[in-house]
Structure 1
Amino acid sequence: GESGYVASEGFPNLYPPNKECIWTITVPEGQTVSLSFRVFDLELHPACRYDALEVFAGSGTSGKRLGRFCGTFRPAPLVAPGNQVTLKMTADEGTGGRGFLLWYSGRATLGNDAPTVTCPKQYRRTGTLQSNFCASDLVVTATVKSMVRGPGEGLTVTVSLIGVYKNGRLDLPSPPTGTSLKFYVPCRQYPPMKKGINYLIMGQMDEKRGPILPPESFVVVYRPNQDQVLTNLSNRKCLSQPVRAW
């Protein structure tokens, strides 16, 4: 497909023991496969000997291995060299975790290195506020100040911060009120935003572009009564810590 989610068996509950599962993802010819992990929670071992997720270029596990992962740190975004990538997850007889949830999409690199994704025909916001909070790198409330086309086919959206509940490892002041922050929005229409409106924004951190709002990002109109809920969520430990290991 052009884009979508892949999850381990049983997700969001614990994955079963003594399993080997393989997925092959194929996007249109002329594109590369981009993987962005939303949740990652596998049994931890320094060498990932017990449970592990391996990523291979191409169709099957004979291609170049792009990574081998375990534990609760989400892998950095991956871009395969071609239009196919294979995932292989193995679990031993012991108790594991919740597994993984990732978003894949086709990507073409333009001259200015702005990623092109396949944009959906309509915006579908999935999951709850809590599940999206745990799956996001960056959670802020902010006012949209400007929306400028580019780089590439996307938008650069500049916001003025009201509050910060997850900082995505950015060095943001406290309190952040009035601080400007720029998001790259690959799909101009999704998530839908308008200049001058206050939003609750849950985004990701891309290793090249910085703050980014993929088309499935959780973005809603901000209301002050959300502050207490967000504060409670920020003080609560997620089952899988949304921290990238660059």
Structure 2
Amino acid sequence: MPSSFSCSVWKRCGDGRCLLTPAPLHRFGSLCSFCSPTFACGGNVTGDSGVIGSQGYPGVYPPNTKCVWRITVPEGKVVVLTFRFLDLESDNLCRYDYVDVYSGHVNSQRLGRFCGTFRPGALVSTGNKMLVQMVSDANTAGSGFLAVFSAAHPHERGDQYCGGRLMKPSGTFKTPNWPEKDYPAGVTCSWHIIAPKNQIIEVKFEKFDVERDNYCRYDYVAIFNGGEINDAKRIGKFCGDTPPAPVFSEGNQLLIQFLSDLSLTADGFIGHYKFRPKKFPTTTMPPATTTQPTTTRPIPLKYSAALCQQKCKRKGTPESHYCSSNFVITGTVITAVMRGGSMYATISIINVYKEGSLAIQQAGKTMSTKIVILCKKCPSVRRGLNYIFMGQTDEEGRGMIAPHHFVMAFKAKNQRAFNVLKTKRC
């Protein structure tokens, strides 16, 4: 929060407050008056509205710091946080300098992690508290962030506020402005649905129209098992104008996230949820990015078992596998989950040499994709390491890697050698 104001030849505004800019307050001939806040490292912030910023903003933020802001607005309202400026060290996974935003003060849902210069839409808490945490490592780059917060009524109509905690046995959720007009640009909404311990959640979309893109990179709805945004627990990612098939949770919590970027918008959606007994047969969809309802074609188990019995030994070279592969990418394994005899991995993409029909998601400058390694130990990959992946795709655009496909560790020094693949003719 602003701890003081440093003004150069300044004059107070008519209502006795300084503008939170810096911006000219008054002009006397050629003389401009400025007033800018000085920000401390974290703090407790209360009230109907306010401004927080990184330590020293708009100067370069200091290294090796961890600053925490605890925002509280009046009871019965939610916190709406909007980033006016964001400039932190850029990294695909935001591993070094980053801002985390949580819905609540303790053991709460993370609404997102941000770095670089891509500003998210408005972030909305499920209650009257929000926590913002900024972490920097030994090497800093940038001016940090400036954000404003305000108190709002949950599900306020005709505005950009949406989301919340849903705990009734059934209910409805919808995009801002529905159905009068298109949803706004630059919106982030998160609905956290919580059922009793012995129940699951069914979600159906009645109407659905979200900006279409083959990979749902711009505007989308993502649904997660559990109460936080976690790619390893993502059930699906949807856009386009066809309502997704019904979704069932694995446990008693679901998180539905809607995001629109700063360009095109569409009609939006209205969805309904209800609690079901846990014994109700579920048909949860696998992680996917789709503009159509998702239908699951499971990996043939006998086929996978037969594959995994053969000796695991890499054969050939990237050049010899290039033409027979549907996709060729280099990337970092950021999540790896075992299901049955296969490994389901999320890959943060470093470079794309051959896209094929691989479904690639994009958020800002970060691209990622889903890959299934049919035999979890062949080829063997580890989370956090970089690899080149060459394989096939299924009907939903997921990468499929079998033992006879080509996977090897990737190092930056090999980049030039791999670049020749892009010029290879098949």
TM-score by length of 1: 0.46
Larger radius of gyration: 2
| Higher normalized contact order (CA 8 Å, seq sep 6+, divided by chain length) | 1
Question: What is the TM-score when the length of structure 2 is the normalising length?
Answer: 0.27
